Chains A and B, each alone.
Chain A
Protein backbone atom coordinates (compact mmCIF):
# COMPACT_ATOMS: atom_id res chain seq x y z
CA UNK A 1 0.00 0.00 0.00
CA UNK A 2 3.03 2.28 0.37
CA UNK A 3 2.95 3.38 -3.26
CA UNK A 4 -0.80 3.74 -3.60
CA UNK A 5 -2.39 7.14 -3.81
CA UNK A 6 -3.83 8.91 -0.77
CA UNK A 7 -7.38 7.89 -0.02
CA UNK A 8 -10.19 10.29 -0.68
CA UNK A 9 -11.05 11.72 2.69
CA UNK A 10 -14.01 13.99 2.08
CA UNK A 11 -17.09 12.23 0.79
CA UNK A 12 -17.83 15.03 -1.67
CA UNK A 13 -14.53 14.95 -3.52
CA UNK A 14 -14.65 14.22 -7.26
CA UNK A 15 -15.08 10.62 -8.36
CA UNK A 16 -13.68 9.05 -11.48
CA UNK A 17 -16.16 7.14 -13.61
CA UNK A 18 -15.95 3.50 -12.62
CA UNK A 19 -14.43 4.39 -9.29
CA UNK A 20 -15.15 2.09 -6.39
CA UNK A 21 -14.02 2.53 -2.84
CA UNK A 22 -10.85 0.61 -1.87
CA UNK A 23 -10.70 -2.66 0.02
CA UNK A 24 -12.21 -3.72 3.33
CA UNK A 25 -15.92 -4.10 3.95
CA UNK A 26 -16.65 -1.93 0.90
CA UNK A 27 -15.82 -4.90 -1.34
CA UNK A 28 -19.12 -6.53 -0.39
CA UNK A 29 -21.02 -3.36 -1.22
CA UNK A 30 -19.26 -3.00 -4.61
CA UNK A 31 -20.03 -6.65 -5.38
CA UNK A 32 -23.68 -6.02 -4.50
CA UNK A 33 -23.81 -3.08 -6.92
CA UNK A 34 -22.52 -5.24 -9.76
CA UNK A 35 -24.96 -8.04 -8.88
CA UNK A 36 -27.94 -5.65 -8.93
CA UNK A 37 -26.72 -4.28 -12.26
CA UNK A 38 -26.32 -7.77 -13.71
CA UNK A 39 -29.80 -8.77 -12.53
CA UNK A 40 -31.51 -5.68 -13.98
CA UNK A 41 -29.58 -5.88 -17.26
CA UNK A 42 -30.43 -9.59 -17.64
CA UNK A 43 -34.11 -8.90 -16.97
CA UNK A 44 -34.23 -6.07 -19.54
CA UNK A 45 -32.37 -8.18 -22.12
CA UNK A 46 -34.76 -11.11 -21.71
CA UNK A 47 -37.79 -8.81 -22.02
CA UNK A 48 -36.26 -7.28 -25.19
CA UNK A 49 -35.74 -10.67 -26.83
CA UNK A 50 -39.23 -11.79 -25.78
CA UNK A 51 -40.90 -8.60 -27.11
CA UNK A 52 -39.09 -8.88 -30.45
CA UNK A 53 -40.67 -12.23 -31.27
CA UNK A 54 -44.00 -12.08 -29.51
CA UNK A 55 -47.31 -11.76 -31.33
CA UNK A 56 -49.19 -10.81 -28.18
CA UNK A 57 -48.81 -7.04 -28.56
CA UNK A 58 -49.76 -4.59 -31.29
CA UNK A 59 -46.96 -5.00 -33.86
CA UNK A 60 -46.15 -1.31 -34.59
CA UNK A 61 -45.48 -0.76 -30.88
CA UNK A 62 -42.60 -3.27 -30.85
CA UNK A 63 -39.81 -0.94 -32.15
CA UNK A 64 -40.83 1.72 -29.63
CA UNK A 65 -40.80 -0.83 -26.81
CA UNK A 66 -37.37 -2.09 -27.93
CA UNK A 67 -35.97 1.46 -27.98
CA UNK A 68 -37.33 2.19 -24.50
CA UNK A 69 -35.92 -1.08 -23.12
CA UNK A 70 -32.52 -0.40 -24.75
CA UNK A 71 -32.33 3.10 -23.24
CA UNK A 72 -33.33 1.71 -19.85
CA UNK A 73 -30.62 -0.94 -20.07
CA UNK A 74 -28.00 1.65 -21.05
CA UNK A 75 -29.04 3.60 -17.95
CA UNK A 76 -28.60 0.48 -15.81
CA UNK A 77 -25.12 -0.05 -17.27
CA UNK A 78 -24.14 3.58 -16.66
CA UNK A 79 -25.27 3.57 -13.03
CA UNK A 80 -24.29 0.10 -11.85
CA UNK A 81 -21.25 -0.70 -14.04
CA UNK A 82 -19.75 2.71 -14.87
CA UNK A 83 -20.88 4.29 -11.56
CA UNK A 84 -22.14 7.49 -13.14
CA UNK A 85 -24.47 8.93 -10.53
CA UNK A 86 -26.16 12.25 -9.80
CA UNK A 87 -24.02 12.88 -6.72
CA UNK A 88 -22.02 16.12 -6.34
CA UNK A 89 -18.78 14.20 -6.97
CA UNK A 90 -20.00 13.23 -10.43
CA UNK A 91 -20.91 16.63 -11.90
CA UNK A 92 -18.05 16.64 -14.42
CA UNK A 93 -18.80 13.11 -15.60
CA UNK A 94 -22.52 13.81 -15.95
CA UNK A 95 -21.90 17.05 -17.86
CA UNK A 96 -19.62 15.24 -20.32
CA UNK A 97 -22.22 12.49 -20.68
CA UNK A 98 -24.99 15.01 -21.32
CA UNK A 99 -22.93 16.65 -24.07
CA UNK A 100 -22.18 13.25 -25.61
CA UNK A 101 -25.86 12.30 -25.58
CA UNK A 102 -26.74 15.64 -27.22
CA UNK A 103 -24.28 15.00 -30.08
CA UNK A 104 -25.48 11.41 -30.52
CA UNK A 105 -29.12 12.54 -30.72
CA UNK A 106 -28.26 15.33 -33.17
CA UNK A 107 -26.31 12.97 -35.44
CA UNK A 108 -28.91 10.19 -35.48
CA UNK A 109 -32.16 12.18 -35.65
CA UNK A 110 -30.60 14.75 -37.99
CA UNK A 111 -29.40 12.07 -40.43
CA UNK A 112 -32.70 10.18 -40.38
CA UNK A 113 -34.75 13.37 -40.80
CA UNK A 114 -32.72 14.79 -43.66
CA UNK A 115 -32.35 11.51 -45.52
CA UNK A 116 -36.05 10.65 -45.19
CA UNK A 117 -36.93 14.11 -46.47
CA UNK A 118 -34.59 13.81 -49.46
CA UNK A 119 -35.83 10.30 -50.19
CA UNK A 120 -39.40 11.58 -50.28
CA UNK A 121 -38.54 14.36 -52.72
CA UNK A 122 -36.50 12.16 -55.02
CA UNK A 123 -37.68 11.06 -58.42
CA UNK A 124 -38.34 7.31 -58.75
CA UNK A 125 -35.20 5.46 -59.77
CA UNK A 126 -36.45 4.31 -63.21
CA UNK A 127 -37.19 7.91 -64.22
CA UNK A 128 -33.67 8.97 -63.26
CA UNK A 129 -32.28 6.15 -65.37
CA UNK A 130 -34.36 7.31 -68.35
CA UNK A 131 -33.09 10.89 -68.02
CA UNK A 132 -29.51 9.68 -68.04
CA UNK A 133 -29.89 7.89 -71.35
Chain B
Protein backbone atom coordinates (compact mmCIF):
# COMPACT_ATOMS: atom_id res chain seq x y z
CA UNK B 1 0.00 0.00 0.00
CA UNK B 2 2.78 2.39 0.85
CA UNK B 3 4.44 2.00 -2.52
CA UNK B 4 1.08 2.71 -4.15
CA UNK B 5 0.67 5.88 -2.14
CA UNK B 6 4.20 6.86 -2.95
CA UNK B 7 3.40 6.92 -6.63
CA UNK B 8 -0.25 7.99 -6.53
CA UNK B 9 -0.81 11.57 -7.52
CA UNK B 10 2.61 11.82 -9.09
CA UNK B 11 1.62 10.97 -12.61
CA UNK B 12 2.07 7.73 -14.47
CA UNK B 13 4.06 5.29 -12.33
CA UNK B 14 5.00 3.25 -15.39
CA UNK B 15 6.10 5.78 -17.96
CA UNK B 16 7.36 4.53 -21.26
CA UNK B 17 10.93 5.58 -21.70
CA UNK B 18 13.89 5.69 -19.41
CA UNK B 19 17.10 7.58 -19.01
CA UNK B 20 15.38 10.88 -19.69
CA UNK B 21 15.34 14.18 -17.84
CA UNK B 22 17.49 13.61 -14.77
CA UNK B 23 15.40 16.18 -12.84
CA UNK B 24 12.65 13.57 -12.45
CA UNK B 25 15.09 10.90 -11.36
CA UNK B 26 14.15 10.86 -7.69
CA UNK B 27 10.41 10.72 -8.38
CA UNK B 28 10.31 7.62 -10.51
CA UNK B 29 13.58 5.96 -9.65
CA UNK B 30 11.85 2.81 -8.42
CA UNK B 31 9.99 2.27 -11.69
CA UNK B 32 12.05 3.69 -14.49
CA UNK B 33 15.69 4.56 -14.77
CA UNK B 34 15.28 8.22 -15.53
CA UNK B 35 11.78 9.67 -15.67
CA UNK B 36 9.20 10.10 -18.39
CA UNK B 37 9.89 10.02 -22.11
CA UNK B 38 9.78 13.22 -24.13
CA UNK B 39 6.46 14.28 -25.61
CA UNK B 40 7.69 13.42 -29.09
CA UNK B 41 8.24 9.78 -28.07
CA UNK B 42 4.85 9.56 -26.34
CA UNK B 43 3.00 11.15 -29.28
CA UNK B 44 4.73 8.87 -31.78
CA UNK B 45 3.96 5.81 -29.67
CA UNK B 46 0.31 6.77 -29.26
CA UNK B 47 -0.07 7.35 -32.99
CA UNK B 48 1.64 4.03 -33.66
CA UNK B 49 -1.03 2.33 -31.50
CA UNK B 50 -3.73 4.10 -33.56
CA UNK B 51 -2.12 2.93 -36.80
CA UNK B 52 -2.04 -0.65 -35.56
CA UNK B 53 -5.73 -0.45 -34.68
CA UNK B 54 -6.38 0.92 -38.17
CA UNK B 55 -4.48 -2.04 -39.63
CA UNK B 56 -6.60 -4.40 -37.48
CA UNK B 57 -9.69 -2.76 -39.00
CA UNK B 58 -8.29 -3.33 -42.48
CA UNK B 59 -7.62 -6.97 -41.56
CA UNK B 60 -11.36 -7.49 -40.97
CA UNK B 61 -12.04 -6.11 -44.46
CA UNK B 62 -9.32 -8.37 -45.88
CA UNK B 63 -10.88 -11.37 -44.12
CA UNK B 64 -14.29 -10.44 -45.55
CA UNK B 65 -12.81 -10.17 -49.03
CA UNK B 66 -10.93 -13.48 -48.73
CA UNK B 67 -14.13 -15.26 -47.63
CA UNK B 68 -16.25 -13.72 -50.41
CA UNK B 69 -13.74 -13.73 -53.27
CA UNK B 70 -15.30 -16.81 -54.90
CA UNK B 71 -18.92 -15.66 -54.56
CA UNK B 72 -19.29 -13.97 -57.95
CA UNK B 73 -22.99 -14.90 -58.39
CA UNK B 74 -22.37 -15.70 -62.04
CA UNK B 75 -20.82 -12.28 -62.59
CA UNK B 76 -17.28 -11.36 -63.59
CA UNK B 77 -14.37 -12.51 -61.43
CA UNK B 78 -11.18 -10.63 -60.66
CA UNK B 79 -9.40 -12.40 -63.49
CA UNK B 80 -11.68 -10.72 -66.04
CA UNK B 81 -11.87 -7.33 -64.29
CA UNK B 82 -8.41 -6.41 -63.04
CA UNK B 83 -6.03 -4.43 -65.23
CA UNK B 84 -2.56 -5.09 -63.82
CA UNK B 85 -0.99 -2.24 -65.79
CA UNK B 86 -3.25 0.22 -63.98
CA UNK B 87 -2.45 -1.43 -60.64
CA UNK B 88 1.26 -1.24 -61.43
CA UNK B 89 1.09 2.51 -62.07
CA UNK B 90 -0.94 3.01 -58.87
CA UNK B 91 1.65 1.02 -56.92
CA UNK B 92 4.51 3.08 -58.37
CA UNK B 93 2.69 6.31 -57.45
CA UNK B 94 2.11 5.27 -53.86
CA UNK B 95 5.60 3.85 -53.34
CA UNK B 96 7.26 6.99 -54.72
CA UNK B 97 4.94 9.17 -52.62
CA UNK B 98 6.01 7.22 -49.54
CA UNK B 99 9.63 8.00 -50.44
CA UNK B 100 8.97 11.71 -51.03
CA UNK B 101 7.04 11.80 -47.73
CA UNK B 102 10.19 10.48 -46.04
CA UNK B 103 12.18 13.25 -47.75
CA UNK B 104 9.64 15.79 -46.45
CA UNK B 105 10.05 14.57 -42.86
CA UNK B 106 13.85 14.82 -43.21
CA UNK B 107 13.41 18.34 -44.57
CA UNK B 108 11.09 19.29 -41.70
CA UNK B 109 13.50 17.99 -39.09
CA UNK B 110 16.40 19.80 -40.74
CA UNK B 111 14.21 22.97 -40.87
CA UNK B 112 14.77 23.34 -44.61
CA UNK B 113 11.73 25.05 -46.07
CA UNK B 114 12.24 24.53 -49.79
CA UNK B 115 13.09 20.85 -49.29
CA UNK B 116 10.02 20.27 -47.11
CA UNK B 117 7.57 22.08 -49.41
CA UNK B 118 8.94 20.49 -52.59
CA UNK B 119 8.79 16.98 -51.14
CA UNK B 120 5.29 17.54 -49.70
CA UNK B 121 4.10 18.90 -53.05
CA UNK B 122 5.53 15.84 -54.83
CA UNK B 123 3.80 13.58 -52.30
CA UNK B 124 0.52 15.40 -52.95
CA UNK B 125 0.84 15.07 -56.73
CA UNK B 126 1.61 11.35 -56.53
CA UNK B 127 -1.20 10.74 -54.04
CA UNK B 128 -3.65 12.65 -56.24
CA UNK B 129 -2.53 10.62 -59.26
CA UNK B 130 -3.17 7.43 -57.26
CA UNK B 131 -6.67 8.55 -56.28
CA UNK B 132 -7.40 9.66 -59.85
CA UNK B 133 -6.42 6.25 -61.25
CA UNK B 134 -8.48 4.46 -58.61
CA UNK B 135 -11.59 6.59 -59.27
CA UNK B 136 -11.18 5.99 -63.02
CA UNK B 137 -10.95 2.23 -62.37
CA UNK B 138 -14.08 2.29 -60.17
CA UNK B 139 -16.04 4.32 -62.74
CA UNK B 140 -14.96 1.88 -65.46
CA UNK B 141 -16.08 -1.10 -63.40
CA UNK B 142 -19.49 0.41 -62.64
CA UNK B 143 -19.93 1.30 -66.32
CA UNK B 144 -19.25 -2.33 -67.25
CA UNK B 145 -22.04 -3.44 -64.92
CA UNK B 146 -19.55 -4.65 -62.30
CA UNK B 147 -20.54 -2.24 -59.53
CA UNK B 148 -20.67 -3.10 -55.84
CA UNK B 149 -24.25 -4.38 -56.18
CA UNK B 150 -23.35 -7.06 -58.76
CA UNK B 151 -22.03 -9.78 -56.44
CA UNK B 152 -20.71 -10.42 -52.93
CA UNK B 153 -17.20 -10.50 -54.39
CA UNK B 154 -17.59 -7.02 -55.86
CA UNK B 155 -19.20 -5.66 -52.67
CA UNK B 156 -16.18 -6.84 -50.67
CA UNK B 157 -13.80 -5.53 -53.34
CA UNK B 158 -15.29 -2.03 -53.38
CA UNK B 159 -15.43 -1.90 -49.57
CA UNK B 160 -11.80 -2.92 -49.13
CA UNK B 161 -10.22 -0.87 -51.93
CA UNK B 162 -12.60 2.06 -51.38
CA UNK B 163 -11.76 2.18 -47.66
CA UNK B 164 -8.05 2.41 -48.53
CA UNK B 165 -8.86 5.11 -51.08
CA UNK B 166 -10.78 7.09 -48.46
CA UNK B 167 -7.78 6.84 -46.13
CA UNK B 168 -5.51 8.18 -48.88
CA UNK B 169 -7.97 11.04 -49.55
CA UNK B 170 -8.01 11.94 -45.85
CA UNK B 171 -4.21 11.75 -45.87
CA UNK B 172 -4.07 14.22 -48.79
CA UNK B 173 -6.24 16.70 -46.85
CA UNK B 174 -3.99 16.23 -43.81
CA UNK B 175 -0.94 16.82 -46.04
CA UNK B 176 -2.28 20.19 -47.20
CA UNK B 177 -3.08 21.08 -43.58
CA UNK B 178 0.50 20.29 -42.54
CA UNK B 179 1.96 22.43 -45.34
CA UNK B 180 -0.27 25.32 -44.28
CA UNK B 181 0.62 24.88 -40.59
CA UNK B 182 4.37 24.81 -41.26
CA UNK B 183 3.95 27.85 -43.50
CA UNK B 184 1.92 29.78 -40.89
CA UNK B 185 3.55 28.64 -37.65
CA UNK B 186 7.03 27.50 -38.61
CA UNK B 187 8.95 24.49 -37.31
CA UNK B 188 7.56 24.55 -33.77
CA UNK B 189 7.96 21.39 -31.71
CA UNK B 190 4.22 20.65 -31.78
CA UNK B 191 4.04 21.17 -35.56
CA UNK B 192 7.00 18.83 -36.06
CA UNK B 193 5.17 16.19 -34.00
CA UNK B 194 2.18 16.52 -36.32
CA UNK B 195 4.45 16.14 -39.36
CA UNK B 196 5.86 12.99 -37.75
CA UNK B 197 2.35 11.58 -37.25
CA UNK B 198 1.42 12.45 -40.83
CA UNK B 199 4.46 10.67 -42.26
CA UNK B 200 3.69 7.61 -40.10
CA UNK B 201 0.11 7.62 -41.42
CA UNK B 202 1.26 7.88 -45.03
CA UNK B 203 3.82 5.06 -44.70
CA UNK B 204 1.19 2.85 -42.99
CA UNK B 205 -1.18 3.42 -45.95
CA UNK B 206 1.56 2.19 -48.27
CA UNK B 207 1.94 -0.97 -46.16
CA UNK B 208 -1.81 -1.60 -46.48
CA UNK B 209 -1.53 -1.07 -50.24
CA UNK B 210 1.25 -3.70 -50.45
CA UNK B 211 -1.14 -6.25 -48.89
CA UNK B 212 -3.91 -4.99 -51.16
CA UNK B 213 -2.19 -5.22 -54.54
CA UNK B 214 -0.66 -8.60 -53.65
CA UNK B 215 -3.77 -10.24 -52.27
CA UNK B 216 -6.53 -8.60 -54.31
CA UNK B 217 -5.06 -7.70 -57.69
CA UNK B 218 -2.11 -10.05 -58.27
CA UNK B 219 -3.68 -13.15 -56.68
CA UNK B 220 -7.00 -12.28 -58.35
CA UNK B 221 -5.38 -12.04 -61.76
CA UNK B 222 -3.20 -15.12 -61.26
CA UNK B 223 -5.89 -17.42 -59.87
Interface residues of A (CB under 8 A from B): 1, 3-6, 8, 10, 12-23, 27, 30-31, 34, 37-38, 41-42, 45, 48-49, 51-53, 59, 62-63, 66-67, 69-70, 73-74, 77-78, 81-82, 92-93, 96-97, 99-100, 103-104, 107-108, 110-112, 115
CB distance from A63 to the nearest CB of B (A): 5
CB distance from A79 to the nearest CB of B (A): 11
Interface centre among A14, A15, A34, A37 (most CB of B within 10 A): A14
Chain B residues, Cβ within 8 Å of A12: 19
Chain B residues, Cβ within 8 Å of A110: 63
Q: A70-B210, A107-B63 are in contact. Are A16 and B52 (CB under 8 A)?
A: no
Stretch at the interface among B4-12, B95-103, B175-183: B95-103
Chain B residues, Cβ within 8 Å of A21: 109
Chain B residues, Cβ within 8 Å of A92: 16, 45
Stretch at the interface among B133-141, B143-151, B214-222: B214-222
Q: Closest A residue to B19 by CB, please name it.
A: A10
Chain A residues, Cβ within 8 Å of B110: 22-23, 27
Q: How far is the CA of A62 from the CA of B215 in the complex (A)?
A: 11
Contact present for A14 and B52 (CB under 8 Å): no
A–B complex contacts, Cβ < 8 Å, 16 sampled: A4-B192, A14-B20, A14-B41, A16-B45, A19-B40, A27-B110, A30-B102, A31-B106, A37-B102, A41-B98, A52-B219, A66-B214, A77-B203, A77-B206, A77-B210, A111-B63
Contact present for A17 and B84 (CB under 8 Å): no
Task: Indicate whether B166 reaches chain A with its CB closer than 8 angstroms.
Answer: no
Q: How far is the CA of A69 from the CA of B91 in the complex (A)?
A: 15
Binary contact readout B51-62 vs A (1 if CB under 8 angstroms, 0 otherwise): 011011001101
Q: How far is the CA of A99 from the CA of B188 in the complex (A)?
A: 33
Chain A residues, Cβ within 8 Å of B187: 4
- Checking B20, B96, B188 against A3 with a beta-carbon cut-off of 8 angstroms, the contacting residue is B188
Ranked nearest first, the 9 interchain pairs of A and B with the lowest CB-CB distance are: A16-B44, A100-B52, A70-B214, A111-B63, A23-B110, A52-B218, A104-B59, A14-B17, A34-B102
Q: A73-B210, A77-B98 are in contact. Are A103 and B59 (CB under 8 A)?
A: yes
CB distance from A49 to the nearest CB of B (A): 6
CB distance from B42 to the nearest CB of A (A): 8
Contact present for A16 and B62 (CB under 8 Å): no
Chain B residues, Cβ within 8 Å of A82: 200, 203-204, 207
Q: How far is the CA of A52 from the CA of B48 in the complex (A)?
A: 32
